[in-house]
Amino acid sequence: MPHCFGIVGHGIVGSVLSRLLCNHGARVLSYDCLLDSQETAALMQKKIEDDQSKACSLGEVLGAGDYILSVVTPQSCREIADRVSRSLHAHQVFVDLTSTSPAVKRGVGAIVTNGGAKFVEGVILGAVSSFTSPVILLGGPDGESAASIFQQYGLAARFYSAEVGRAAAFKMLRSIFSKGIEALLVETLVAARRAGLRDEVWEEILATLSTGKVEETLETWIRSHAHSAQRRCHEMQEASRFLDEIGIRHVLPRASGQVFARSFELGVSKAFPQEPESFREVIEYLEQQERAVPRPVEQRGDGGPYP
């Protein structure tokens, strides 16, 4: 008998998961808060049915699902966990797939397990496409068995760690890079267009990161960071002035300059009078120095919204 998956939050991710699971023989029930409103219920029910799932109340989803997949907004994940924990049973597995911090994942996990059900941490990597499964990392004591079941139903899931929060930490750190690159490209190319150099700058970016050179280029940037942090800080200051001159609002050159300035203040240039052999030496040094310097209270993240 096929497993029954309950989807809570039938947005873009819920839609993709529904189609994939149904196409691989699973039984899928979906609930979305838009089903509770007369103004939006009909459209949401049609969307769910178009995705081959069955529109249900939250109670019906919780009553029948072997695996409950929570793909609600990050702001709602604790509330949903609290609501469902009162209705789940020991044989059921609640999988939180929202994009949240490790601390939030652990908090949601505690709510679910204290209610008697099993909890699996899940994170989704990369863009979500309508045609293929995104990569899904699963964690927690029941993560390995859940990954095996997910794979049977067409999901590109793999077990990451028995420790809840570790997969979320990986995703958060990966996002700093991937979203940072996206922001960097957008800000750079908008400015390049204003300067009449969009295509030339784009071609230079592609050449810099061309196949076969990426690893070497990235390692070189970090190794040379040791003795070039101060110079690069000054270069970013000049870049900021240039963007001011051509009327482009900007964030990243100023922020990048602050990173270079901080490395210089932490003594990275004195620590490496010669360029180190490995980029890992630079990263290890900076992390140790950061650990030794307490952050002001106002710089500590509290999980709240950005100003």
Is there a contact between 138 and 121 (Cβ–Cβ < 8 Å)? yes
The total of structural domains in the chain comes to: 2
Q: Which pLDDT score is estimated for 166?
A: 95
Q: Which pLDDT score is estimated for 300?
A: 47
Report yes or no on 266 lying in a domain: yes
Give the separation between CA 234 and CA 225, rounded to whole angstroms.
13
CATH number assigned to the domain comprising residue 240: 1.10.1040.10
Report yes or no on 233 lying in a domain: yes
Q: Which pLDDT score is estimated for 80?
A: 94
> Are residue 120 and residue 209 in the same domain, yes or no?
no
> Are residue 59 and residue 113 in the same domain, yes or no?
yes
The average pLDDT across 118-140 equals 90
Report yes or no on 280 lying in a domain: yes
Average predicted confidence (pLDDT) for the chain: 91
Select from 239, 120, 106, 232 the least CA-distant residue to 169.
106
- The domain boundary residue, chosen from 163, 186, 204: 163
Q: Which pLDDT score is estimated for 212?
A: 74
The average pLDDT across 241-265 equals 92
pLDDT cut 70: percent of the chain above it: 96
> Are residue 149 and residue 201 in the same domain, yes or no?
no
> Are residue 140 and residue 42 in the same domain, yes or no?
yes
* Confidence at 115, pLDDT banded by 50, 70, 90: very high
Per-residue pLDDT reduced to its tens digit, 80-105: 999 999 999 999 999 999 988 999 99
Residue 306: CB atoms within 10 Å: 4
Per-residue pLDDT reduced to its tens digit, 254-265: 999 999 999 999
* Confidence at 304, pLDDT banded by 50, 70, 90: very low
The average pLDDT across 20-32 equals 96
Q: Which pLDDT score is estimated for 128?
A: 83
> Are residue 16 and residue 151 in the same domain, yes or no?
yes
Per-residue pLDDT reduced to its tens digit, 189-230: 999 999 999 999 999 999 988 867 788 888 999 999 998 999
Domain around 42:
4-163
- On the question of pLDDT at 303 being above 70, the answer is no
> Are residue 177 and residue 114 in the same domain, yes or no?
no
Report yes or no on 192 lying in a domain: yes
Angle of helix 252-265 relative to helix 166-194, nearest 10 degrees? 120
Report yes or no on 152 lying in a domain: yes
Report yes or no on 306 lying in a domain: no
- The domain boundary residue, chosen from 114, 135, 163: 163
> Are residue 113 and residue 222 in the same domain, yes or no?
no
Is there a contact between 123 and 99 (Cβ–Cβ < 8 Å)? yes
Angle of helix 77-85 relative to helix 102-114, nearest 10 degrees? 10
Q: Which pLDDT score is estimated for 118?
A: 97
Select from 10, 17, 14 the least CA-distant residue to 40.
10
> Are residue 189 and residue 157 in the same domain, yes or no?
no
> Are residue 71 and residue 48 in the same domain, yes or no?
yes
Between 131 and 233, the more confident residue is 233
Q: Which pLDDT score is estimated for 292?
A: 87
> Are residue 159 and residue 178 in the same domain, yes or no?
no
Select from 146, 20, 169 the least CA-distant residue to 99.
169
Angle of helix 214-245 relative to helix 279-292, nearest 10 degrees? 60
Give the separation between CA 152 and CA 65, rounded to whole angstroms.
16
> Are residue 28 and residue 133 in the same domain, yes or no?
yes
Report yes or no on 294 lying in a domain: yes
- On the question of pLDDT at 299 being above 60, the answer is no
- The domain boundary residue, chosen from 163, 196, 211: 163
> Are residue 265 and residue 185 in the same domain, yes or no?
yes
Report yes or no on 305 lying in a domain: no
Q: Which pLDDT score is estimated for 305?
A: 38
* Confidence at 26, pLDDT banded by 50, 70, 90: very high
The average pLDDT across 32-58 equals 95
Q: Which pLDDT score is estimated for 215?
A: 87
Is there a contact between 40 and 34 (Cβ–Cβ < 8 Å)? yes
CATH number assigned to the domain comprising residue 36: 3.40.50.720
The average pLDDT across 65-91 equals 93
Strand ranges of the sheet holding 156-161, from the earlier edge strand across to the other edge: 54-55, 27-31, 4-8, 67-70, 93-96, 118-125, 135-139, 156-161
